[in-house]
Structure 1
Amino acid sequence: MKKSTESEMLKEAIQLLKEKQAFELVQLKDQYHVTYESLQPVNLIKNAFGQLTKTSEFKGNILNSVIGIASGYLSKKVLLGSSHNPITKVLGTILQFAITNFVSKKAETFTQDKHS
């Protein structure tokens, strides 16, 4: 009678191990799909950009750049208008570049003073 009890216990242990193995296989497959999706190039780029935009420094840099570019463009249009002269166009572009850089740097110091 002792042999049948040991045999039944062994069968029960084997059955529990099979159930555990089936459960772990399902978990492994699920994790595989999650990992596969997260490694898709689109998702990698989306996650990287999402993390990048969460930093306040990045937001400040974008804002400073937009302000600088907009002010440079507007200054060029106001001061020179739409000229067809190539020399005026080149000078306008140089002026636009200079004003863009100046305003971007001033906006950067303004936003740093604001955060300090």
Structure 2
Amino acid sequence: MQNINSITELSNAIKLLEIEQLNKKLLLKDQLRNVHESLRPINIIKSTINDITTSPYLLDNILATGIGLVTGYFSNKIFVGSSGNLQKKLLGSILQFGVTNVIAQNPDAIKSLSRIIFHMIFKKRNND
């Protein structure tokens, strides 16, 4: 800042500082409104849903985990059935846990394997 030598320069400097202060005050109010708006629960939910739907990795992870859970559940039901045997139920739960983890952690390998099986089935049908 430069040296002020007269009353006029002092008045001008004060006016410039007041204008700068007013601009900063308006910017601060605007930012406060934006923060308040973004912290409303509905906007937090909207933002979270938007992040989930726009993130391909998160959507793939959710899909792979869901497929793993469903496959694990069905493998448990197929293995255990309506058996009342406690050991068979325990082994079914272990099988469910293992299948769920394998499928959830290796979705690309599972997709490739399912495509190969799919092509093999329909290739046989087309040849018949």
Judge conservation of contact 1:72–1:99 (CA < 8 Å) in 2. Answer: yes
Of structures 1 and 2, the one with the larger relative CO (CA 8 A, separation 6+) is 1
1:87 aligns with 2:84: no
1:66 aligns with 2:66: yes
Q: Quote the Cα distance in structure 1 between the aligned partners of 2:106 and 2:24.
A: 59
2:103 is matched by which residue type in structure 1?
A: V
Task: Extract unaligned runs of 5+ from structure 2.
Answer: 1-17, 113-128
Judge conservation of contact 2:103–2:110 (CA < 8 Å) in 1. Answer: no
Q: Quote the Cα distance in structure 2 between the aligned partners of 1:24 and 1:104.
A: 51
TM-score (norm 1): 0.58
Q: Quote the Cα distance in structure 2 between the aligned partners of 1:23 and 1:74.
A: 64
TM-score (norm 2): 0.53
Q: Quote the Cα distance in structure 2 between the aligned partners of 1:110 and 1:75.
A: 15
Identity of aligned residues (%): 36
Task: Extract unaligned runs of 5+ from structure 1.
Answer: 1-17
Q: Please, what is the CA RMSD of the aligned residues?
A: 3.8
